[in-house]
Structure 1
Amino acid sequence: MVPARGGTGKPRARFAVAVRGRAGGWAPAALAVLSLLATLLGGGRVGHATAAVDGSAWLWSRAAGEARLVDPDSGRVERRREVTDARGHRVRITQNDRHLLIHDLETGRVSSLDLVGLGLSGRLDVGTRGDPHLAMTATAAAVVERTSGTVRTLDPATLRPVGPVLRLPGPLAGGEFDDTGLLWVAVPRQGTVAAVKVTAAGAAVARTVEVTEPGADLALTVLDRGALVVDRGGRDLVFATAETTRRVTAPVPLAGAMVPERTHGELAAVTVPAARSVVTLGGVRGGPVRSFPLRDPVQDPAVPFAGRVYLPVRETGQVRVYDPAGRQTGVLSMPSGRGDLELHVREGNLFVNSPGSADARVVGADGRIRTVGESPAGRGRGENRTAAPGEGHGPPTVPAPPLQQAFPEPPGASPEEEASPGDDPPAPRHPGTPTPAAPGGTEPSPAAATPGRRTAPSTRAPASPPASRPSTSRPSTSRPSTPSPEPEPATVRNPYTPQQVCNAGSGGGYQVQRSSAFSGGRTYQLYSASTKKNCAVTMKTAGVGTGTKVWVRLAEQTGGEVASDSGTFKYYAGPVYVHAPGDCVRYSGGSTAGSTAAGWANCG
């Protein structure tokens, strides 16, 4: 999520730079800076200077390997910036009105672009271990290494570390700024939530709030002011600000609950697949606490926006729109976004993006939908419609910072264990998309599949817990000097069935024909007499509700049709579909902990 700055009623200020087409003056210097930025960010179009528009948003296109600047008023794609070697990768974009941080989750590389002056850029390697997460306000940036519990302050322009490293007992949950400039994280080992002040002098804990017993399973979403903490071991919901604390009780158990990393506005939402419910809350100042049932299998949290709740359903490519009481008021359909939807709120607009396709939407606070236009020149036609129930002077020359910076492993932190090559699953693909079979009818190796959809990684447990508590000052509330023993996590049952998952993705009437188990899950093959399609899905039985690598593959024997899906999922991989009339099929699936496969069968 992107931090909001200002209300919807304020006029948007626009900033832009341009390259003058004449010799002499500052044009050569500006072109040199633009060339440097193109090198850093992968050869973007140097003939077009980048504009930063307050209220706009940069969206990632995985298929094109580029970031797109979208004007929310017109729906036009104003600018594009290619990113070297990032095509097909999962990328997270963090922005404010001056800087753009492009974080390649596959390589761990972070690039910074100054959107106003084009004067400074930076590059940083945060690695791919430890769940690094970047957050930014108007003046500060930080990288939260959630597994080990470290918080590092960054210069948002150069990405150089600033000040000492703050160390908290990992793993952490959350890690976003509120509108007052505080960075909020939950510390489950202590049963607390911490407000961190990030300045040019570094990061320091400003306030710590006890929310439950040490060792609890906590989730956290950052609000406009403070944070909402979810105790997934019970029903407690705690609103915490820099001054106050308010505790409420959810109407359903919160096991496996999900929340967005950032919540804008007074309305908050907690998605609970295990209880098949969405819980809505009035906010910090008080308000009704209600719940309504989930209609579809979901793996992503509902996002509150402008008094409504937007629930992405990846398997159908839809975003269902509800009021806080659970009455559905509309459906936003993006068929090309099946399995691949991202929701971001920025300054009074909701951006719905499908990174694996060219499809994107902008939703205004009044519910008005704008289709993001596409054209080779970067200018598109914005289509305005109302949601229906069914539906200057040149920049000076400045020296560039070093291109390569890397964070060392914090003291006492153990790197994650690498998965062996034999455990690698097939690269993800969109459900039902065929790929050619390997020559000679041999099943291709998992690593040979084409990259496709994935979800953002969730917080993972550290390989070894920190040996001591943080050296940062704590509030007057006293706690034991040594951490309490961490209890064994409660087993969470998968809230979905294979039939639910396959029926949600394509038609209905799917029945299980066969299945086989592996360590941490089970892979199913189903068939529907009405659609004449086979379906395969891998359901997790361990680590349910936590993002882990899972995969599934379904192949036709003689027709060569293959469908596969892989990524970091909380409940299941798939569904994938193969239409194989009069032919045999076989499936395989697994995770980094194990795998399973079945031979050719279910012919006819």
Structure 2
Amino acid sequence: MKSRARIGGWGTAVLITGALAATLLGSGRIGHATEASDGSAWLWSRTASEVARVNPDNGQVERRRKVTDARGHRVRLSQNDQNLLIHDLETGRVSSLNLSGLGLSGRLNVGARGDTHLAMGATAAAVIERTSGTVRALDPATLRPVGTPLQLPGPLVGGEFDDDGRLWVAVPQQGTVAALKISAQGAAVARTDEVAEPGRDLALSVLDQGALVLDRGGRDLVVATGDGTRRITAPVPLAGAMVPERTHGALAAVTVPAAGSVVTLGDVEKGGPVLSFPLADPVQEPVVPFAGKVYVPVRETGQVRVYDPAGRQTGALSMPAGRGDLELQVREGNLFINAPGSADAQVVGTDGRARKVGKYPNGQGKGGDRPVAPGGGENSPPLIPAPPVEPVFPDLPVLPPSREEPEEPETPSEPSTPGTTPSPPGRTGPTPKPPRKSVPPVPEMPSARPTTSAPGTKSPTPPRSTTPRPPSTSRPPSTPRPPSTSKPPTSKPPTPKPPKPTPKPTPNPYTPAQVCNASSGGNYYVQRSVGFSGGRVYQLYSNSTKKNCAVTMKTGANVGKGTNVWVRLQEKKGGEVGYDGGTFKYYAGPVFVNASGICVRISGGGSGASVSTGWANCG
């Protein structure tokens, strides 16, 4: 789990915190494609600062919309048939774009602190402050909060809609998964299911009907649907496992870098075959299942390898300009592969055929018209004020007190090479697992049908009761007892609680030589390295390629979590520089320079710490 400071109060967590420019459209997670009923999708272009609607049948851009004040920012997009939500992860600003006329219809500022996530289904939208556990319904058009917010025990994991309109989140503190109903009345718990012991490290991917939950402290995979839960044992330990936030179709896939494996689940909602195959390349993002195949993004080479569920490679898609910057999303029966920092994108149909997309007017394909001029001024929608009333929470039992981490200060941006825009400091690593406690459950609606399990699997725990307890009434005064003559009992001093065990840090599943060898020839060996708080920078050389390689490997609590990390390699004679930086889970790089017989130096860092060396290895 991610260790973050809790955000005090709904107003500071997700409501308007400042004025916005009238021409703002906002942004969202890099490369996120968004769905529409006609199969088209919107893609984000970071360097051009625009969103573009792509026709999957021919790969052409049909419409464009300029996004002001978002150039170089990380962007996450969400869409239904009427609206496109644009969430700027750098600033926390959110805008709603009316898709019928491409006009701006609503604005909201959720802030850049914490872990705020926006989700939108066919008819509903919600903002989830995953750190504090607050969920609130939004009007997708105006972005105004509606109804009363729901308070769950934070932190939460996940937060996407399934095809039945249920919003699924995991509650690691309770070891449960919850299906939420989002309506004009607000957010409410529809049902909960136990999936793990309280305090476990969970990951979640929302299915077409239900959710897949991973216990990253063991091997349990749990499929939760409206009928109950089904437990499956993975063939490898799931430490550090990754899944896409949303899984479309019957095939699910789990990426386990620590085990160097991909686990596939065929017909996931019915407990189909469970298979695994080894990863041929180091990966930092989850693989994506689509149309019966598994697509593995390899950011070092800009390739996407295609496998069947058993691990036989059936193809490879190449996007060299997308090296280090690939995002995959399944939308409306198509797979969209986007490189937000370049003009390149591809769309893959269910037949496996890939079509190139020209996101810019002068790129591949015809590219469509020039971007639509941004709206604003007097026609810009007003800012949304904070609701005047306090949020109303469900009748939950009081949770045991827990120690909270202090709110982390903002850290300055890392140094960058001219022409590059490194990502802002990332978030902190996983929260130490607490000792097992009996945690009160989240209230839920009773299930319509009894919980069932597949033959040969563990029986699921029955759903918890959701009947609210009646309010307590005052007791009548009792008759005073006569004074007792017996000896009062002697109270025992409280037994001190043992200290919490120090969590074992997650090891980095990759080595510097593995990372460098996967990208440029082979036979790279480490020449020197230097460490900093949270990582170590390595310099390597290959006698075969006559190149130097540099990579920053993450260490400690941030391994497996998306945080800011960077690496820089420079040769002395001609000044050739290699640089890579951004929000990565395991490492930054590799970067290469031709420096046979030339002195080189390395530097790197992340999340506020950095280190550098002098000139060396000149022979």
Interval containing the TM-score (normalised by the shorter chain) = 0.7 to 0.9
Instruction: Tell me how far 1:54 sits from its aligned partner.
Output: 2.2
Aligned residue for 1:141? 125
Q: Which sections of structure 1, spanning at least 5 residues, go unmatched? A: 1-35, 43-50, 383-397, 428-434, 437-448
Aligned residue for 1:21? none
Instruction: Tell me how far 1:260 sits from its aligned partner.
Output: 0.2
Distance of 1:127 and 1:38 partners within structure 2: 18
Match of 1:289 among 238, 259, 274: 274
8 Å Cα contact 1:589/1:597 also seen in 2: yes
Alignment pair present for 1:277 and 2:291: no
The more displaced of 340-349 and 521-530 is 521-530
- 1:350 is matched by which residue type in structure 2? L
- 2:112 is matched by which residue type in structure 1? T
- 2:302 is matched by which residue type in structure 1? G
Aligned residue for 1:4? none
8 Å Cα contact 1:520/1:593 also seen in 2: no
DSSP 3-state at the match of 2:518:
helix
Change (3 A) 1:358 1:379: closer
Distance of 2:288 and 2:563 partners within structure 1: 22
Instruction: Tell me how far 1:116 sits from its aligned partner.
Output: 2.0
Distance of 1:67 and 1:489 partners within structure 2: 43
8 Å Cα contact 1:351/1:361 also seen in 2: yes
Match of 1:367 among 328, 340, 352: 352
Alignment pair present for 1:575 and 2:590: yes
Mapping 1:292-441, distance limit 5 Å: 292-374=277-359, 376=361, 380-381=365-366, 401-403=381-383, 416-421=407-412, 424-427=413-416, 435=417
- 1:555 is matched by which residue type in structure 2? Q
Change (3 A) 1:399 1:554: closer
Match of 1:545 among 551, 560, 563: 560
Change (3 A) 1:454 1:357: farther
Q: For residues 517-565 of structure 1, what are the alpha-carbon distances to aligned partners after superposition, in whole Å with 9 as ceiling and x for unaligned?
A: 2222211001122222211111112122122222222122242222222
Change (3 A) 1:474 1:348: closer
Change (3 A) 1:324 1:455: farther
Change (3 A) 1:548 1:533: same
Match of 2:506 among 466, 478, 492: 492
Distance of 2:428 and 2:98 partners within structure 1: 29
Change (3 A) 1:595 1:377: closer
- 2:587 is matched by which residue type in structure 1? Y
Mapping 1:192-271, distance limit 5 Å: 192-271=176-255
- 1:477 is matched by which residue type in structure 2? R
Instruction: Tell me how far 1:591 sits from its aligned partner.
Output: 2.2
Aligned residue for 2:69? 85
Change (3 A) 1:455 1:330: farther
DSSP 3-state at the match of 1:181:
coil
Instruction: Tell me how far 1:258 sits from its aligned partner.
Output: 0.3
8 Å Cα contact 1:75/1:381 also seen in 2: no
Aligned residue for 2:421? 451
Distance of 1:549 and 1:404 partners within structure 2: 31
8 Å Cα contact 2:213/2:223 also seen in 1: yes
Aligned residue for 2:546? 532
Aligned residue for 1:566? 581
Aligned residue for 1:477? 464
Q: Which sections of structure 2, spanning at least 5 residues, go unmatched? A: 1-19, 27-34, 368-377, 394-400, 447-462, 470-498
Q: For residues 150-180 of structure 1, what are the alpha-carbon distances to aligned partners after superposition, in whole Å with 9 as ceiling and x for unaligned?
A: 1111110011111111111111111100000
Distance of 1:362 and 1:37 partners within structure 2: 34
Change (3 A) 1:116 1:140: same
Distance of 1:72 and 1:487 partners within structure 2: 52
Change (3 A) 1:491 1:184: same
Aligned residue for 1:6? none
Distance of 2:233 and 2:48 partners within structure 1: 45
DSSP 3-state at the match of 2:204:
strand
- 1:207 is matched by which residue type in structure 2? R
8 Å Cα contact 1:90/1:454 also seen in 2: no
- 1:148 is matched by which residue type in structure 2? S
- 2:420 is matched by which residue type in structure 1? T
Q: Taking structure 2 as the reference length, what is the TM-score of the superposition?
A: 0.77
8 Å Cα contact 2:335/2:347 also seen in 1: yes
Q: Taking structure 1 as the reference length, what is the TM-score of the superposition?
A: 0.79
Distance of 1:488 and 1:206 partners within structure 2: 36
Q: For residues 498-527 of structure 1, what are the alpha-carbon distances to aligned partners after superposition, in whole Å with 9 as ceiling and x for unaligned?
A: 011111122222110001122222110011
Distance of 1:598 and 1:514 partners within structure 2: 10
Instruction: Tell me how far 1:111 sits from its aligned partner.
Output: 0.9
Distance of 1:599 and 1:379 partners within structure 2: 43
Distance of 2:363 and 2:235 partners within structure 1: 48
- 1:183 is matched by which residue type in structure 2? L
Distance of 1:597 and 1:189 partners within structure 2: 40
Instruction: Tell me how far 1:123 sits from its aligned partner.
Output: 0.9
- 1:451 is matched by which residue type in structure 2? T
The more displaced of 259-268 and 204-213 is 204-213
Instruction: Tell me how far 1:373 sits from its aligned partner.
Output: 2.7
8 Å Cα contact 2:77/2:85 also seen in 1: yes
Mapping 1:31-42, distance limit 5 Å: 39-41=23-25
8 Å Cα contact 2:36/2:81 also seen in 1: yes
Mapping 1:55-94, distance limit 5 Å: 55-94=39-78
8 Å Cα contact 1:194/1:206 also seen in 2: yes
Aligned residue for 2:13? none
Distance of 1:578 and 1:262 partners within structure 2: 39
Distance of 1:169 and 1:535 partners within structure 2: 45
Mapping 1:88-127, distance limit 5 Å: 88-116=72-100, 121-127=105-111
- 2:534 is matched by which residue type in structure 1? G
Distance of 1:486 and 1:64 partners within structure 2: 50
Match of 1:518 among 532, 551, 567: 532
The more displaced of 546-555 and 357-366 is 546-555
Q: For residues 57-83 of structure 1, what are the alpha-carbon distances to aligned partners after superposition, in whole Å with 9 as ceiling and x for unaligned?
A: 000011111111100011001111111
8 Å Cα contact 2:414/2:608 also seen in 1: no
The more displaced of 274-283 and 551-560 is 551-560
- 1:425 is matched by which residue type in structure 2? E
Instruction: Tell me how far 1:272 sits from its aligned partner.
Output: 0.1
Instruction: Tell me how far 1:144 sits from its aligned partner.
Output: 1.2
- 1:214 is matched by which residue type in structure 2? P
Distance of 1:375 and 1:555 partners within structure 2: 32
8 Å Cα contact 2:181/2:188 also seen in 1: yes
- 1:602 is matched by which residue type in structure 2? N
Instruction: Tell me how far 1:404 sits from its aligned partner.
Output: 5.5
Distance of 1:181 and 1:549 partners within structure 2: 34
- 1:132 is matched by which residue type in structure 2? T
Instruction: Tell me how far 1:224 sits from its aligned partner.
Output: 0.2
Aligned residue for 2:490? none
8 Å Cα contact 2:98/2:105 also seen in 1: yes
Aligned residue for 2:486? none
